[in-house]
Amino acid sequence: MLGIQYGKPLPFTFTLTTCLVCCQVSQFLQTLEQDLRLGVGGRLDSVLGQCMYFGLSFSRVGADFRGLLAPIFERAALAGFTTAVNDANTRFMLILVLDDGHLFNGLFSGTTWVGWHQKG
């Protein structure tokens, strides 16, 4: 059946098919990583779910690449988190600068604040 015999090398077509699948998966992973750098609008979980389902489809023919997705999505999540923290820090510093001390006047004037009420 199909000319496959135990102990003999696989025919050229099987090697070519394997190479083609590996190249296509590699190209998909590179494209995915580039697209994730551009951002997904906060829907990283949705893209991860779709990629895992796609990898599951390839596992049926012996080309499961789902393990290769983890580091790509880990870097994307870390980059998104870092960007969000930096944006929040920048906004907070901008509020401090533009507020001109009105918001935090009571904190440094010798009075103590408890919750929203001033304790003198």
Rounded Cα gap, residues 96 and 53, in angstroms? 46
pLDDT tens for 87-118 read: 999 988 888 777 665 666 555 555 554 555 54
pLDDT attached to residue 93: 85
Angle in degrees, 0-180, between the axes of helices 44-59 and 69-99, rounded to the nearest 10:
180
* Residue 42 pLDDT grade (very low, low, confident, very high; cuts 50, 70, 90): confident
List the domain boundaries for the chain.
12-119
pLDDT tens for 3-39 read: 445 566 655 556 777 888 888 899 999 999 999 999 8
- Global pTM? 0.66
Number of H helices, E strands in the chain: 3, 2
